[in-house]
Amino acid sequence: MSTASSTFTAVLTGNPNCGKTTLFNALTGLRARVGNYAGVTVERKEGAMLGANAAHPVTLLDLPGTYSLSPQSLDEQIARDVLFQRLADVPEPSLVIVVVDASNLQRNLYYATQVIELGHPTFLALNMVDVARANGHEIDLESLSTALGVPVFPLVASENEGITELKEAVNRAASKPAGQKASGPATSGAESGLLAHSPAGLLADSLSEPRSFQELPENFGHEAQVIEEMLEKFFPHRERLASAEALLILSDDKVLNAQPDLYPAAIREAVTAARARLEAAGVDWRSAAIEARYARVFAIAQHVTTETVVEGENFSDRLDRILTHRVWGLLIFIGIMVTMFVSIFFFAQLPMDALDAGVGWLASHVSAALGQGDLQDLVANGIIKGVGAVVVFLPQICLLFMFISLLEDTGYMARAAFLMDRLMSRVGLHGKSFIPMLSSFACAIPGIMATRTIESPKDRLVTILIAPLMSCSARLPVYTVLIAATIGGGALRRGLTMTAMYLLGIVGALGMAWLFKRTLLKGEPPPLILELPPYKRPVLKVVLRHMWDRSKLFLRRAGTVILGINILLWFLVTYPKSPEVAQRYAQQRAMFESSAFVNDEQRKAHDEAADQLAKEESGELLRHSFAGRLGHAIEPVIRPLGFDWKIGIGIVASFAAREVFVSTMSVVYNVGEVDAKDSTATAGLAGVMQKERRADGTPVYTALTGITLMVFYVFAMQCVSTVAIVRRETNSWKWPAFQFAYMTGLAWVLALVCHLGGRLLGF
C-alpha cells in the first residue's frame, strides 16, 4: 500500500522513445534526484517542477519506458507497480501524464488507454507533433480528447513548445482540493475537466464510456467482473484499480507467475477456473482483451488523424538509408568511433596541461608552507599529486560523455544497435544487448543496470558477464598515460592506439559471449524488435547537463575512493622506514654537497649524479616499504608479462578502481620531482615513466610493455563497484566470483601472448 503524502506527485509514463525524459528535463530544468527504487536496482528519477505554485509544490516522477502494463522486464514491472500503488515508498499518483509520440499515435495509444482505465487523474502529453505533421499526420486534438476522456496537450518538448501550457494545467490540478478532477486547455471543455460526450460520427456509439476502451466477449467480461469483485474485497484500498487489474491477471499468465505471493490463493484459483471455462467456450483468454483494445485504438487513431500526402521520403528515412546500410552504415559507425577517440586526445590536451600545471603549482605551494616532514609528503605527494594525477583526465572524461550523450540525444544510438544486431546474433547475443554494452563505454555499472530491458534471463546474464570488457571511462586515464609514455607520434597515432584498445574490448566481449552461449548459457536469442526514434536536433543544455552529471561521479570517486586509497598507499610506500638506508644515503649526499666544481660541465655532471643518487635512495626506500614487499611478492606472477614489481604495486592497488593505477604510479615514482631545467623531460607522470630504467639500464616502459599493460587492463576486472552491482543484479555471489576469475585469468593469458608475440617479432 502506498504511503500517504501531502506532496502533489505527477507521474510521467509512456512508451520508450516517446520523448518522456526530454519532457521531464524541460519540466524540472534538469534538476533531478536520481536513486533506486527500494529493493531493486531500477533507477528512480524525480524532481521538483519549475514554476510550481509555492503553496502547492509538484514532484515529478519519471517512470521507465514501457509498452504495456504486462511487464516483460524489471523496468516495465516497476512502471506497472507504481501505477498500481504497489510500492510502499512511492505515494499514490496525484496525476498521471501519459506521454505519447504523435508520429506513432496508434502504437502509443495501446499503453495510454491502459493507463487511463486505471482511473488516476490523467493528462495526455502529445509530443513530437512537429514530426507527425512533417510525416503527413494531422491530429484533431478535440476529437482525441473527447475519445479518450482526458485533456490533450500538444508538445514539442525538445523545443519547449507547449511546456508552459502543460505546467499551468498541472499547477491548476495541484491547487484543487483532493478528489476534484484534473483539467486542461486542450478542448472547449477544458475548464470543466473530462468531456461528457463523444464526437458525432464514426465513434458516437462506441465511445460512450470514455474510461473503457474494449468491447470484450460477453463471457470474458463476466469472468473479469467476478475477479474484479474479488479484488475489491481483498484489496479495498485499490478498489478503483480493480477493473483494470482483473483484465490484466485474467489475460496475462506472467502476472500471476511473476508475483505468486501478491494474490491470495482464492484469486489464483478463481483465475485458473475462469480460464478453463473460457477455453471450453472457445475463447482465447490470452488474446481476447488485447485484440479488443487494438480494435478500439485503431478506430480512435483513424478517426482523429487526417493523412496528407507527403512527397518523397521524410528526413529520417533518407538518413536511415545511409546510416543503417549494411556496409556504409558500419563504416560510418567505425568512423564516428575513431573520430571520437582522436578528438578526445586532440581537444583535451590544452585543458589537461592546464590542470597538470595547476596540480604542480598547488603541490609546490603546500610543500613550501608545510616544510619538510611526513605531513608535507603525505599532503603534497600522497594527496594532491596522487588525486591530481587522476583529476587531470577530467577533460577527456567530459569529452567522452559529451559524445555519448550526443549519440543518444540525436537518435543515433538505436541505429547503432540495429547495425550491430547482425554481428551480435552471430555470437548468440540479442540486439538489445548492444545498448548496455555501448553504455559500458562510460561505466560498466549503468551498462549492467541497463540489461534489465532484455527479456531473456540467459541473454541478460551473458550481457552482464561481458559488459565490463567494454573499455569504460576509468580505463581512459590508464590508456592515456601509457600511450603518452610509450607510444610516439601525434594525436592521430595515439588516437588510433586508443581506438584499437576499445575495439579489442569489443572483440573480446563478443568472443566471450559466443563461448558462453555455447557452453554455460545455451539458448537461441529472440529476434530483435527495435523502435528507431526519429532523428532530432540535440539540446545543448541537456547534453552538457548529462556530461556534467556523469563527470561529477568521476570527480566524486576521485575525492572519496581514490583519495582514501592514496592515503593508504602513501603509508604503504613510506613505512616502515629503514634508518640504515637513510643514514647511508645521507653520508653520500654530504659528500656531494662538499664537492667543488670550477665550470658548468662539472656542475652538470654533479647535478646528474645527485639526481641519480636521489632516485637510488627513493627506490631503496620503496623496496623496503610494505608496498615494495607486496610488489616483490607478486613479481613472479607478473614477470612473464614483462612487468616489474613497481607495476605490480599499481596493479594490486587498482583492484579497487582501474584509474587508481595512475595515482599509484604517481605516488610510487614521486611525480613532480623532475628537474625543471631538463629540457628533455616530459611534464607529468608520462615523462617520469619514460625515464624509468631497469637494473641493466634498459627502459621499463617500452612500446611493448605499454601495449601489454593496456591489454591486461582491457580484460581485467579491476573494479570493486562493478563486482558489487553484479551481485545485486544477479542476487548471488556465484556470478560475480566467476566473472572476476574469468576476466583476471583472461587478462593474464592475453597479456602473456602479447608480450611473447612482441618479443618474437623483435620488439
Q: What is the pLDDT of residues 59-114, one digit of tens each?
A: 999 998 888 888 777 778 888 888 988 887 888 899 999 999 998 898 899 999 99
Average pLDDT estimate for 240-269: 80
Domains identified in the chain, total number: 3
Whether residue 31 lies inside any domain: the answer is yes
Decide which of 401 and 174 is more confident. 174
How far is the C-alpha of 182 from the C-alpha of 150, rounded, in Å?
9
Q: Give the residue numbers spanning the domain of 113.
A: 8-192
**Of 192, 210, 236, which marks where a domain is finished?**
192
**Of 235, 259, 282, which marks where a domain is finished?**
282
Is the pLDDT score of 3 beyond 60?
Answer: no
Whether residue 673 lies inside any domain: the answer is no
Nearest 5°: phi and psi at 471? -70, 105
In which order are the strands placed within the sheet that holds 95-101?
32-36, 43-48, 58-62, 8-14, 95-101, 122-127, 152-154
Average pLDDT estimate for 112-122: 91
Q: Provide the pLDDT for residue 259.
A: 67
Is the Cβ–Cβ distance between 379 and 370 less than 8 Å? yes
Average pLDDT estimate for 373-386: 80
Confidence of residue 414 (pLDDT cuts 50, 70, 90): confident
**Nearest residue to 669 (alpha-carbon basis) of 653, 652, 651, 691:** 691
Whether residue 746 lies inside any domain: the answer is no
Least confidently predicted of 213-227, 384-398, 444-458, 602-616? 602-616
Whether residue 545 lies inside any domain: the answer is no
500 membership: H or E segment, kind and range: helix 491-518
Confidence of residue 260 (pLDDT cuts 50, 70, 90): low
* C-alpha 331, offset from chain centre: 25
Residue 133 and residue 185 share a domain: yes
Residue 133 and residue 248 share a domain: no
* Single-letter residue type at 420: M
Q: For 326-343, write each residue's pLDDT tens digit.
A: 888 888 888 887 787 778
The dihedral through the CA atoms of 560, 563, 565, 568 has a sign that is negative
**Nearest residue to 97 (alpha-carbon basis) of 42, 20, 195:** 20
Is the pLDDT score of 20 beyond 50?
Answer: yes
Say which residues have a Cβ less than 8 Å from residue 373's Cβ, sequence separation at least 6. Answer: none
Q: Provide the pLDDT for residue 178.
A: 57
Least confidently predicted of 193-207, 515-529, 563-577? 193-207
Is the pLDDT score of 662 beyond 70?
Answer: yes
Q: Provide the pLDDT for residue 258.
A: 62
Q: Provide the pLDDT for residue 122.
A: 92
Average pLDDT estimate for 35-43: 53
How far is the C-alpha of 562 from the C-alpha of 572, rounded, in Å?
15
Q: What is the DSSP letter of 36?
A: E
Is the Cβ–Cβ distance between 725 and 734 less than 8 Å? no
Decide which of 507 and 610 is more confident. 507
What CATH code is carried by the domain that includes residue 24? 3.40.50.300
Say which residues have a Cβ less than 8 Å from residue 349's Cβ, sequence separation at least 6. Answer: 491
Q: Following CA atoms 525, 531, 536, 540 in sequence, which dihedral angle do they give, to the nearest 10 degrees? A: -50
Residue 137 and residue 241 share a domain: no
Confidence of residue 751 (pLDDT cuts 50, 70, 90): very high
Q: Provide the pLDDT for residue 612.
A: 67
Confidence of residue 387 (pLDDT cuts 50, 70, 90): confident
C-alpha cell at 699: 627502459
Say which residues have a Cβ less than 8 Å from residue 91's Cβ, sequence separation at least 6. Answer: 2, 3, 4, 5, 7, 9
Residue 256 and residue 113 share a domain: no
What percentage of the chain has pLDDT greater than the value 70?
A: 83
C-alpha cell at 389: 594525477
- For cell 645521507, the residue is 586
Q: Provide the pLDDT for residue 202.
A: 29
* Single-letter residue type at 599: N
How far is the C-alpha of 196 from the C-alpha of 210, rounded, in Å?
9
Average pLDDT estimate for 117-130: 91
Is the pLDDT score of 359 beyond 80?
Answer: yes
Whether residue 702 lies inside any domain: the answer is no
Confidence of residue 133 (pLDDT cuts 50, 70, 90): confident
Residue 224 and residue 179 share a domain: no
Is the pLDDT score of 439 beyond 50?
Answer: yes
Is the Cβ–Cβ distance between 446 and 460 less than 8 Å? no
Residue 35, Cβ neighbours under 10 Å: how many?
Answer: 9
Confidence of residue 33 (pLDDT cuts 50, 70, 90): low
Q: Provide the pLDDT for residue 223.
A: 87
Whether residue 270 lies inside any domain: the answer is yes
Is the pLDDT score of 203 beyond 60?
Answer: no
Q: Provide the pLDDT for residue 755.
A: 94
Q: For 555-564, write each residue's pLDDT tens digit.
A: 776 677 777 8
Is the pLDDT score of 749 beyond 90?
Answer: yes
Average pLDDT estimate for 123-146: 90
Is the pLDDT score of 155 beyond 80?
Answer: yes
Confidence of residue 352 (pLDDT cuts 50, 70, 90): confident
Residue 231 and residue 144 share a domain: no
Is the pLDDT score of 678 beyond 60?
Answer: no
Q: Provide the pLDDT for residue 209.
A: 38
100 membership: H or E segment, kind and range: strand 95-101
Whether residue 231 lies inside any domain: the answer is yes
Mean pLDDT of the chain: 79
Decide which of 483 and 572 is more confident. 483
Decide which of 46 and 681 is more confident. 46
Whether residue 169 lies inside any domain: the answer is yes
* C-alpha 671, offset from chain centre: 34
Q: Provide the pLDDT for residue 715.
A: 94
**Of 175, 192, 209, which marks where a domain is finished?**
192
Residue 245 and residue 164 share a domain: no
Is the pLDDT score of 660 beyond 60?
Answer: yes
Residue 228 and residue 105 share a domain: no
Is the pLDDT score of 744 beyond 80?
Answer: yes
Average pLDDT estimate for 427-455: 74
Least confidently predicted of 510-519, 565-574, 576-585, 664-673? 664-673
Q: Provide the pLDDT for residue 411.
A: 80
Q: Provide the pLDDT for residue 476.
A: 84
Residue 240 and residue 112 share a domain: no
What percentage of the chain has pLDDT greater than the value 90?
A: 18
Is the pLDDT score of 121 beyond 80?
Answer: yes
Q: Provide the pLDDT for residue 2.
A: 41
C-alpha cell at 622: 620503496
- Rank 378-382, 628-632, 675-679 by mean pLDDT and report only the highest: 628-632
Residue 104 and residue 51 share a domain: yes
Least confidently predicted of 72-81, 434-443, 658-667? 434-443
pTM over 0.75: no
Residue 182 and residue 129 share a domain: yes
Confidence of residue 195 (pLDDT cuts 50, 70, 90): very low
Is the pLDDT score of 34 beyond 80?
Answer: no
Residue 91 and residue 227 share a domain: no
Q: Provide the pLDDT for residue 197.
A: 31
Q: Provide the pLDDT for residue 680.
A: 33
Confidence of residue 596 (pLDDT cuts 50, 70, 90): low
How far is the C-alpha of 603 from the C-alpha of 581, rounded, in Å?
26
Confidence of residue 304 (pLDDT cuts 50, 70, 90): very high
Q: How far apart are the first and last CA of the chain?
A: 67
- For cell 591486461, the residue is 712
Q: Provide the pLDDT for residue 11.
A: 94
Is the Cβ–Cβ distance between 99 and 109 less than 8 Å? no
